[in-house]
Structures are given as structure tokens and as C-alpha cells.
Chain A
């Protein structure tokens, strides 16, 4: 029996085989969709760039070379240099670490938070539902960016506070999804069976409801990541996110503002990095949605 047969077996003998088999099916379906392959490659390159930044970057991210300040793109400096003579290409490479950190942390904070709130609201119903969803709706109808700005203003500028502020403003969408999913699962017979066996609500939610919400959550989180990157870059641009000399892409664009009329490359280059990475998440998210949630295909 080849590995492929084992993966595609219709009657898996273990849980492990079943879940690996499902992952394999999703993976091959994704490979058939050209856009999601492009998206996947972009994200993979981002991750590899972030991990191997010390070896990939030709120069240091903070090393200054004032003799060579504001040099246009050339063989030596592919994206030119900034006002302190730092190589922009190297800074863009180092900046991938910051972008990846922000994206991962926001996803790790806001998705579980939204999942939990939504699942609890959906499972218990009644007043719990009304209060939790009331709060969620209030957050949903606020302008996200403005809210994030106000939170950062109170917490103080910095990359950690920017992450917290973005996470605070992005959980409500996940709570809505988790609640909707929970409502459809709640009255299923297998849930009733688990309850009859004496499982506590905590066990039902954590072991039986949350796992079923994950696929729609993964789609939504991937699609939202483009927005998270843009918000983080926006906070950096306003001077509220990552602080100098950190090579955060938004902050780099902000430094280039002064020179935009003559030395266009300082502000322009980091913007391309932002666009490419955001597009990558959009493509991958679209592909995942088509594979995992065939109902909404083509929307």
C-alpha cells in the first residue's frame, strides 16, 4: 500500500489517519487552484524570508552609511538607500519578521477569543447569548481603524500595543461565525449523546463544538490577514506601531514621506512588499474558501 492509498483510504483505521487524509485532500484541491498556489508560495516565501533573514539580507537593517544616503536603486543597493544610508532591500527583508510576528500574534489572540465567545453564546443561548452578541455587534458596527487608533493612544505607541489594539478590534467577526456554526451543531444528535454520557458544557464546547468551527475560522482568518497587515502598516505609518529603528514596512513608508518628491524609492519599495504579502493572503484565503466551503464558491 502506497502512502497515497493510505492517505485516501475510505475507511481510516485511526483518527490520525482520518485527519491526515483530510488534510491531504484539502492540499491537493488547493494545488488545482492556480491563484491559491500563488498565494501559498507568497506566504511560504514570507515565512522563509523571515526565518533566514540574517543570511538573506546583504546588509544590516540598522547599519548606517551616511556617505551613501538616499542612493537610487543600483546593483549595490537593489532598492536604494534611505536617509541614513541604510539598504532598503535589507530592511524590507528584516521587516518580514515583524510582519509575520504581527500577523501570527493577532491571529493567535483574536481567533481563539472570538471562537470562545461565539461558541459560549451559541451553546448556552438565552441571556448569555443576548449580552455577548450585543457586545459583539457594538464592536462590529464601529470603525475598526479608528478604534485601534484610540486603543493605541491610550496604551502608548509600540509594536506590542499595536498588536493588542488590532486583536481587540478583530475578534467580533470570529465570534459571529463561531456562534452561527454552534447554532447549527448544537441540536445535533451526537451532541445530545455526549451530553447524556455526562459531559460538562466545557467539555462539549471545547472537544466537540470548537473543532467543527475551525475550518470556517481558518478561511476567515486567512482572508482577514490582509486587513491586519494594512492596519499594522497604517499604525506604523502614523508613528504608533513599531518604533524606529525597527524596519517595519509602514514606518519605513512614513520615513520616506519627506523624500517622496525626489527620492521616490524610499517610500515606494516597502509598499510593494505590503501589497505582495496582502495579495498572498487574499489568494490563499479565496482558495481555502473554495476548497473548504464549496457553498460560497464564486462569491
Chain B
């Protein structure tokens, strides 16, 4: 699985003097406009997938044995008798008022389903990114400061594997090894079956909910279930974060101020962690944001492997049942979150980097 973001982290343009006034305002406006346009584009794509590609959406609802009268009634009720632009307009209005249609397989509104499943995905991806950052950043720094060392080689191999290993395969191998053979972690699902439903959902995040309810046993059980899928996700973000940290650090370490610091006799630890590391914190935020968005996407595969009741599992179940409303709803939500994180980390970079101010 590759979580390499499509948008390159380009260095912020060093602006000439002046023109500073109003720059902030226009940046915010520009941000809002691009996010809105991108989201509209996402809506256009899901609309296209839902209404234009299927040969006859009405037929898929009423079945091929319906009488012409029933067929016509369904067509009018679905708004399909109107021209495409009007259909699209109605679709956009519906989405913005929180109407994503009804899921055929669960019989509930797609919005309700999604709000129930989303916290599980969020919990897994968040723990995953914590693992990725906590290990990836230090490893990348060490690899850069000792080029050619064992750590450097390990980072290289991990980076390559992060590109060429299927996430679902790593998940399966992890289950076979750490669950079936070694019994170190809990199996599929969020909790053991006899703990299921004991904690009433408050936030939907089982780690938080179990602590709120004071159920320490359930908390540790949830941790044992969460640790393996989160580590698999963390591995892929680690691969990317460590590689980027290494290349940022190499850039800094070749700068003259680093040489100056060394010549002055500043301890190597301070040179690396203060002089060289401080300037790369800003681009690292962008990298972390982008890989977080990538993890939300990667969780689709992982959730299927671990029977994790998140949005990815919901999406794949819907796919197999040809439940188009649910498919498009999940696509929209994942896409929107993905776009949002993408754009925010892009903007954060510009706001935090003093050269871009």
C-alpha cells in the first residue's frame, strides 16, 4: 500500500517585500474557494458514478418485472424525469442538508450509519498516526545523521516495503502470527464478544468510552484488539514519514549554519535536534497531515481484514450488496475528510513558515 500523497510538498514561495496587507484575507478566501470547488468536484464525480454510469438506475430499484406504471412512478419519485443539471442541483442541495439517501442493506439513513461507523475508523487511524510519528520522526533523524548506518539501511528497506506490500496481506500475516500463534493480541473486531455492548457509546471511541464508564478491563481488551490494526497502519505511515524526515534533515545538515555550529563546538546532539531539526518541523506537519489522510483511506482494506466496524468495512459491505447510496455516502465522507486534511495541511504550511508570511 502506498500512502504517498499526490500533492508534492512544494517549498512556499518566498514573497517579495510588500503586498503583506490583505494577503491573509485573500489566502483564507482562496482556501475556502478551492475547498468548495474541490468538494463540488467530488460531488460531481459521485453524482456521475451514481446516476450516469448505471444503465438504468430505476430498473435497479424496481426490478425488471415492474409494470410500466410502477416504473414511471419510481422514475418521477427519484427525480430522474428531470434534466441532468437539475438532478445534480437537487443532489447537491440534498447532500448539504445532510440527506444521503437510505441504505438498502441496513434500512437506515446513510447519514446515521456513517456517524455510527466513523468513530471506529477515526480511533484506529489516529492511533496509527501516533505510532507512525513516534517512531518515524526519530528514525528519520537518526538515519540522516548517520548516513549509511544500520538505521539508515533499515529505513531504506522499510520505505521500499511500505511501497510494495499490500496492507491487507500484512494485516493477515499479523493476525496469523501475533493472534493465532503467539496470542499476544486480541483477534478481529473491537472487543471480545462477551464485552460487546457493555459500554454505552458516548463519543464512539471505545478507548475513551470505556474509561468514562470506569471499565478498566474493557479498556485493556480494546487496546489488545486495536494495537495490531493500528500498528499495521502505523507501519505504512512510518515508512513515509521516516523517509521524508530523512530527506528534510539531509537538506538541513548540509547547510552552512550547521557547519558553523559544529565548528563553534556545539555538541552534536544540539546541532541535530535544535539547529537542524527546528526548521523542518513545519514541512513535517504537512507530511504528517497528508499521511493521516492516507491512513483514513488505507483503513478501508485493514478494516475488512480485521472485521473492524468502521466506515471502510461499511463501504466494502455496501459494495458487495450493490447498495449504491451507502457506497456513494461513504465515498463522499471519506473523500471530504481526505480533501479537508489535505488542504488544511497545505495552508498550515503557508501560515507557519515565516518565509511565506
> Which residues of A line the B interface, CB within 8 A?
134-135, 137-147, 149-155, 172-173, 226-227, 230, 233-234, 237-240, 250, 253, 256-257, 260-262, 264, 267-268, 271, 274-275, 278-279, 281-282, 299
Contact = CB atoms under 8 A, between A and B. Distances in A.
B256 to A, nearest CB: 20
30 contacts: A135-B41, A138-B37, A138-B45, A140-B7, A141-B38, A141-B343, A142-B339, A145-B301, A146-B300, A146-B330, A146-B331, A153-B49, A154-B49, A154-B50, A154-B53, A173-B6, A227-B2, A233-B166, A237-B166, A238-B304, A238-B316, A260-B172, A264-B173, A267-B172, A268-B176, A271-B169, A274-B169, A275-B164, A275-B165, A299-B247
Interface string B165-192: 1111100110110011000000000000
B76 interface: no
A85 B2 CA distance: 33
Contacts, number: 155
A143 B297 contact: yes
Contact of B319 (A172, A237, A238): A238
B335 A257 contact: no
A147 B168 contact: no
Contacts of A299: 247
Contacts of A268: 169, 172-173, 176
B163 interface: yes
Interface stretch (B117-125, B223-231, B321-329): B321-329
Contacts of A155: 53
Nearest to A239: B320
A153 B160 contact: no
Contact of A226 (B163, B297, B300, B342): B163
Closest 7 CB pairs of A and B: A138-B41, A278-B164, A271-B169, A143-B297, A261-B180, A154-B53, A150-B331
B42 interface: yes
Given A150-B49, A230-B2, A233-B166, A257 B172 contact: yes
B41 A234 contact: no
Most buried by B among A134, A234, A281: A234
Nearest to B294: A143
Nearest to A285: B163
Given A141-B38, A147-B45, A153-B322, A226 B164 contact: yes
Nearest to A227: B2
B160 A282 contact: yes
Given A142-B335, A260-B172, 17 more contacts: A137-B38, A143-B338, A144-B297, A150-B46, A153-B319, A172-B6, A173-B6, A230-B2, A234-B1, A234-B166, A234-B301, A238-B304, A261-B176, A274-B165, A275-B161, A275-B165, A278-B165
A153 B294 CA distance: 21
A264 B178 CA distance: 13
Given A153-B324, A260-B176, A234 B335 contact: no
Contacts of A239: 320
Given A146-B331, A150-B49, A278-B163, A141 B339 contact: yes
Given A138-B38, A142-B42, A234 B297 contact: no
A63 to B, nearest CB: 26
A66 B327 CA distance: 38
Contacts of B54: 154
Contact of B166 (A147, A153, A271, A279): A271
Contact of B335 (A137, A146, A152, A172): A146
B315 interface: yes
A135 B48 CA distance: 14
Contacts of A274: 164-166, 169
B42 A138 contact: yes
A216 B315 CA distance: 36
Nearest to B247: A299
B334 interface: yes
Nearest to A249: B166
Contacts of A151: 49, 53
Interface in B115-168: 160-161, 163-168
A248 to B, nearest CB: 12
A240 B176 CA distance: 24
B213 to A, nearest CB: 32
A111 B176 CA distance: 39
Nearest to A286: B160
Contacts of A140: 6-7
Contact of B297 (A134, A145, A253, A271): A145
Contacts of B161: 275
B222 interface: no
A148 to B, nearest CB: 10
B164 A253 contact: no
B335 A143 contact: yes
Nearest to B2: A227
A142 B180 CA distance: 37
A227 B339 CA distance: 20
Contacts of B293: 143
Most buried by B among A140, A253, A260, A282: A260
Contacts of B168: 234, 237, 253
A20 B305 CA distance: 49
A234 B2 CA distance: 12
B335 A149 contact: no
Contacts of A154: 49-50, 53-54, 324
A150 B297 contact: no
Contacts of A240: 319
Contacts of A149: 300, 315-316, 319, 327, 331
A150 B164 contact: no
Contact of B300 (A135, A145, A227, A281): A145
Contacts of B172: 253, 256-257, 260, 267-268, 271
Given A134-B37, A147-B331, A253 B166 contact: yes
A268 B38 CA distance: 39
A141 B6 contact: yes
